[in-house]
Homo-oligomer: A and B are copies of this chain.
């Protein structure tokens, strides 16, 4: 069924246009790099960026998206609140959401988590090791016990999130910190995955293991045709029960 999944890859897409170092690594944007990889696995991928009308996230685009991947960093506050609410509602209705790295501070992730989503960070290109702690989870498919990112921005605990429904990865950093790096959540009918790695000045989104995890996460977060939910006042079923007795 994988061939029919529709992914929307959203990118703030500012760093790549203003910073030569970033542009050297992601000449067409982080979104283009990830989209190209996902397409190579058979997924249908649409891209959207902050500076498009409605940030490229119109009701039509969202209605057709099975999974939305989110990368933002410097312009979280420029994402309009009505678009955030639209994405929020669509996640609760079943669309998967994958939040990458600095997206921890995006409006949509904070809206879904209900906490500050704050953390520690340090940028000195230290080594990161990402350990699999739930090896039977489909997001760990195809990985070894750990993989390394040679140069990473450190993110450290306390990561102010709700405890994940399932914790898949924990990161080790050379400088002495740990981090819950792969966090799965059910929210409404949607599934949310936060994945720590990724930075605009390191070629992390070219790394095979990182792309593998994102691909796995798309499949895990894909919508299912679950029950149609009804809320509000509910009819009296007692007569039916009494008559059945």
> Which positions in A face B, CB cutoff 8 Å?
92, 94, 111-116, 118-122, 124, 126-127, 129, 131-138, 140-145, 154, 156-160, 162-163, 165-167, 170-178, 180, 185-191, 223-238, 241-242, 244-245
Q: B140, A226: Cβ atoms under 8 Å?
A: yes
Q: Which of B137, B154, B231 contacts A226 (CB 8 A)?
A: B137
Task: Please list 11 pairs of residues, one from A and one from B, whose beta carbons are closer than 8 Å in the complex, sorted by A's number.
Answer: A113-B114, A132-B226, A132-B227, A134-B163, A135-B226, A135-B227, A136-B191, A141-B226, A158-B229, A158-B231, A178-B178
User: If the complex has contacts A136-B94, A136-B189, are A118 and B232 also in contact, measured as CB distance less than 8 A?
Assistant: yes
CB distance from A159 to the nearest CB of B (A): 7
Q: A227, B122: Cβ atoms under 8 Å?
A: no
Q: Which of B111, B157, B172 contacts A132 (CB 8 A)?
A: B157
Complex Cα distance, B64 from A172, in Å, reads 36
Chain B residues positioned under 8 Å from A225 (CB to CB): 141-142
Q: Which of B145, B190, B228 contacts A145 (CB 8 A)?
A: B228
Complex Cα distance, B240 from A129, in Å, reads 13
Q: B136, A158: Cβ atoms under 8 Å?
A: no
Known: A143-B226, A145-B230, A163-B165. 18 other contacts (CB 8 A): A113-B114, A122-B235, A129-B177, A131-B156, A131-B157, A136-B189, A136-B191, A136-B223, A137-B226, A140-B227, A142-B226, A160-B188, A162-B165, A162-B187, A163-B186, A165-B165, A174-B238, A175-B238
Q: B186, A178: Cβ atoms under 8 Å?
A: no
Chain B residues positioned under 8 Å from A135 (CB to CB): 158, 188-189, 226-227, 229
Q: Which of A144, A170, A230 has the most chain B CB within a 10 Å cutoff?
A: A170
CB distance from A112 to the nearest CB of B (A): 5
Q: B92, A160: Cβ atoms under 8 Å?
A: yes
